[in-house]
Amino acid sequence: MKRISLTQHLIEQQRQHNSIPAELRLLIETVGRACKTISHAVSKGALGEVLGSAGSENVQGEVQKKLDILSNEILLEANEWGGHLAAMASEEMESIHPIPNRYPQGEYLLLFDPLDGSSNIDINVSIGTIFSVLKAPDGMTTPTEKDFMQPGRKQVAAGYAIYGPQSMLILTTGNGVHAFTLDRETGSWVLTQSNMQIPVETQEYAINASNARHWYPPVTRYINEMQAGATGPLKKNYNMRWIAAMVADVHRILTRGGIFMYPADSRDTSVPGKLRLMYEANPMALLVEQAGGLATDGKQAILDIQPTKLHQRVPVFLGSKVEVERITAYNQE
Ligand code: AFP
């Protein structure tokens, strides 16, 4: 089979859809290169002295792993010199990171969770990098956090790298979801699947069931109905998976269907769930919609939410259309 590289795919997408100007292609290729570097560091494990905690906390008050910080630095250094970006934002940084004055300023904004699923690092389970690309508002001179406050539907590109048995890059620029597998011998991202599609129906759900006593009634009702199996109201047996890395759970859903849920619950009514809107829910929601699935906060499409804060959290229900419609309907009753 003829090997198509990431660059060739981006050039062909530009020819077909006029959707990837040269600056955006450079941005995506640069993020792809940074993810190769992160994949390499991750795969070293204890041999690379990258495991364990860094002895610091991030803006979320979460203990930072060494790889969280290393991955963040890799993405910052890879992207700041290219002239394609005006600023970056990351789960690991309190405020936005404007491009240093010594480099030209571009017209894109890059947001990322540099290493999603950090609690999986030390147990050698899949982790990943999630990224989202917005255009800087017209006329913007000095980027501020306000310039990032754009609904997810405004993303011009989104994707993730998953560092699992294979390292893969999953990408959309608004014309379908395409998958690349890292060829470690040549160091290239090679196209291995075009136009990923999420099956409309599924028998598989993902939720952290240890929180069941904190769930609100619609979620409890839905999980009980699935657990009732073939003799229950949904008339089929369901399976459950929870990898505790959104990247891995979403990758499974893009590959074979399913529904992923991280709902708000009664533990802390001031915090609507755990996942962040700008650099987790929004990029994943764009991928899921581009692959024929749905992604809501339990009431509305995640991509339609008007952000107000860079690190704001949002409840997430995403995946196979029929199931997301069902739980969203229960939430709206
Ligand atoms: P960490 O990066 O702290 O491991 O959190 C990962 C995550 O943000 C997301 O990737 C998972 O789906 C979710 O949290 C897992 O949350 P629980 O640890 O509550 O199951």
Q: What's the CATH number where 61 sits?
A: 3.30.540.10
Give a yes or no: residue 1 inside a domain: no
Q: Are residues 93 and 125 in the same domain?
A: yes
Domain boundary among 193, 221, 243: 193
Same domain, 179 and 223: no
Task: Say how many domains are in the chain.
Answer: 2
Which helix (H) or strand (E) covers residue 69, if one does?
helix 66-79
Confidence of residue 249 (pLDDT cuts 50, 70, 90): very high
Give me the pLDDT at residue 38, please.
97
Please state the rounded mean pLDDT for residues 104-128: 96
User: Tens digit of pLDDT for each residue in 196-244?
Assistant: 999 999 999 999 999 999 999 999 999 999 999 999 999 999 999 999 9
Same domain, 83 and 220: no
Return the CATH number at 259: 3.40.190.80
Instruction: With respect to residue 324, please indicate whether it lies within any of the assigned structural domains.
Output: yes
Mean pLDDT of the chain: 96
The atom of ligand 1 lying closest to the CA of 275 is 8
Q: Tell me the average pLDDT across 161-185.
A: 98
Is residue 199 in a domain?
A: no
- CA 107/CA 22 separation, integer angstroms: 12
Q: What's the pLDDT score for residue 183? A: 97
212: containing domain: 204-332
Whether residues 221 and 290 share a domain: the answer is yes
Which residues have CB under 6 Å of ligand 1?
62, 116-119, 208, 244-246, 274-275
Count of C-beta atoms within a 10 Å radius of residue 34: 23
Alpha-carbon gap, residue 21 to 54, rounded angstroms: 39
Are residues 11 and 119 both part of a single domain? yes
Q: For residue 298, is pLDDT > 80?
A: yes
Nearest CA residue ID for atom 13, ligand 1: 244
